[in-house]
Structure 1
């Protein structure tokens, strides 16, 4: 009897979830450590996943993959495109699987009014510019001013607007970090920060220090682990000390913890591992 790809995807998700429930999350086997009680946890309703992580299988079976994510336990996702569907079509698919696209990655070179309209249809609460790179600080300043203007338009539409970092924003150009240009040129009112923890570490910065330098502006984390060789790893299998980061920053808790892996070996297993890691972590 032929087995549909959707059934296979859901079975894979269930298997990964079961495996995650049995395996101890690193550092969470005991409720205490060195005499300290670990009493904080990531609320499940704040766990999301960047769909870029699953792009290879979303392109083959969109509905089956979203269904599998719901089976794992996800209720929120972050978009990076709608895979050939209109905003309305994609929203209906999400609704069928009881998922909410609370966040999305966007650009600012196109029609901002249309992007805002699509974000409203999709139900996005936050929209973030995913990438920018310029060779001079003056170009970064110009870009930051454009971010501020776009953020003002999004705010007026009732949507929070932000910027997602990579590593190069922490590398100095003529003695100045582009990250500092962005955070000093834009305002808290119009531009929040989606801090990608993997890229902060790869850029040679400390996520805790950077968090408090812009205290209150980091409202989302991309929770992405780093392999010993500098590559990508599923959560809990790499070298980034998320427990330290989350514990230090807890007084200004973020709105969303977004699982991501740019190059997963098995996208659904990665998704299940990430959900289990975050939901079981104590800090």
Structure 2
């Protein structure tokens, strides 16, 4: 289905290009004013942002989230105040990376107070899975992801894939799908074999979804659109973090990653667009910048 959708998308693009060419050929370019902008936003919308692309596509506000790891220093300093500030920015969803010394029940109460849902979480699978799953249910998580794994051998990755698949089945029984979040090293071949391919081939697509970190995918030399197409419809979440030309991590919309291109090819299946920056100078500023970018980007 994903391949067909991509083909239809490009067929429409080709049709528009063909129409534009034909119009110019007969000297009728004025009849198609700014065809490249034919899908621009309406006048009552905010001016589109994002590397010069314009389009009707937009990220629904109910799909915008933020990984709380980005705000860990602020959360450690003032957990209630930081969650309140996120709510003021407009966030209604977050992805967890721990509960900062609170029990699941205590953290859930703070979320509820601010009308925020922790729809996703990062978890480990080598500890007490029953406790991890029970906490996830209390917190209201509807998805979970393993945030990191690294092995020196392909056999190590195969064994991990087996553990991930087993854990995912247990999570699924509890109604919480489990996925995997990439960094860059999964795309670096070991003996000619990419760990990411081992991971995806040795887990069941019905049970293990994929959360693609767009910065780390690009850092690893991957084209996110190609990566999405290869694994659609397993890809259900993006970490939206940007990359400057020199490789530095920057806030969404401040770098050179072509998010409009990525989003336009993948929007039907994405459940969440999750703002993230691993080491922000000002966490709440990053949160505001990311939210504003995702609300205004058009594609």
TM-score, normalised with respect to structure 1: 0.88
Instruction: Give 2:39's aligned residue.
Output: none
Instruction: Give 2:35's aligned residue.
Output: none
1:113-144: per-residue Cα shift (whole Å, max 9, x none)?
10000000000000100000000000000000
- Asked whether 1:25 is paired with 2:42, we answer no
CA contact (8 A) 2:92 2:117 kept: yes
- Asked whether 1:59 is paired with 2:76, we answer yes
- Structure 1 pair 113–45 and aligned structure 2 pair: CA distance change class (3 A): same
Instruction: Give 1:159's aligned residue.
Output: 176
Alpha-carbon distance in 1 for matches of 2:70, 2:288: 12
User: Per the alignment, in what secondary structure is the counterpart of residue 191 of structure 2?
Assistant: coil
How many correspondences in the alignment?
A: 255
Instruction: Give 1:102's aligned residue.
Output: 119
Measure how far apart 1:51 and its partner are: 0.4
Instruction: Give 1:9's aligned residue.
Output: none
User: Per the alignment, in what secondary structure is the counterpart of residue 210 of structure 2?
Assistant: strand
Residue 228 (structure 2) aligned to one of 211, 214, 224: 211
| Deviation >6 Å, runs of 4+ | 21-24
- Asked whether 1:274 is paired with 2:290, we answer yes
- Structure 1 pair 55–23 and aligned structure 2 pair: CA distance change class (3 A): farther
Q: Root-mean-square deviation (CA), in Å?
A: 1.5
Alpha-carbon distance in 1 for matches of 2:202, 2:298: 36
Alpha-carbon distance in 2 for matches of 1:253, 1:132: 25
User: Per the alignment, in what secondary structure is the counterpart of residue 222 of structure 1?
Assistant: strand
1:12-49: per-residue Cα shift (whole Å, max 9, x none)?
xxxxxxxxx99973446xxxx6xxx6111000000000
Measure how far apart 1:92 and its partner are: 0.4
Alpha-carbon distance in 1 for matches of 2:46, 2:93: 24
Gap regions ≥5 residues in structure 1: 1-20
- Asked whether 1:201 is paired with 2:225, we answer no
Alpha-carbon distance in 2 for matches of 1:258, 1:129: 15
Instruction: Give 2:9's aligned residue.
Output: none
Instruction: Give 2:141's aligned residue.
Output: 124
Matches within 5 A, 1:42-121: 42-121=59-138
- Asked whether 1:142 is paired with 2:166, we answer no
Measure how far apart 1:253 and its partner are: 2.7
Instruction: Give 1:8's aligned residue.
Output: none
- Structure 1 pair 215–22 and aligned structure 2 pair: CA distance change class (3 A): closer
- Structure 1 pair 23–231 and aligned structure 2 pair: CA distance change class (3 A): farther
User: Per the alignment, in what secondary structure is the counterpart of residue 98 of structure 2?
Assistant: coil
Alpha-carbon distance in 2 for matches of 1:253, 1:223: 16
User: Per the alignment, in what secondary structure is the counterpart of residue 62 of structure 2?
Assistant: helix
User: Per the alignment, in what secondary structure is the counterpart of residue 59 of structure 1?
Assistant: helix
Measure how far apart 1:215 and its partner are: 1.3
Instruction: Give 2:23's aligned residue.
Output: none
- Structure 1 pair 22–192 and aligned structure 2 pair: CA distance change class (3 A): closer
User: Per the alignment, in what secondary structure is the counterpart of residue 238 of structure 2?
Assistant: strand
Measure how far apart 1:188 and its partner are: 1.2
TM-score, normalised with respect to structure 2: 0.83
1:166-211: per-residue Cα shift (whole Å, max 9, x none)?
0000000001000001111001111000000000000001100010
Measure how far apart 1:147 and its partner are: 0.5
- Structure 1 pair 218–24 and aligned structure 2 pair: CA distance change class (3 A): closer
Alpha-carbon distance in 1 for matches of 2:146, 2:70: 17
User: Per the alignment, in what secondary structure is the counterpart of residue 77 of structure 2?
Assistant: coil
Measure how far apart 1:228 and its partner are: 2.0
Structure index of larger Rg: 2
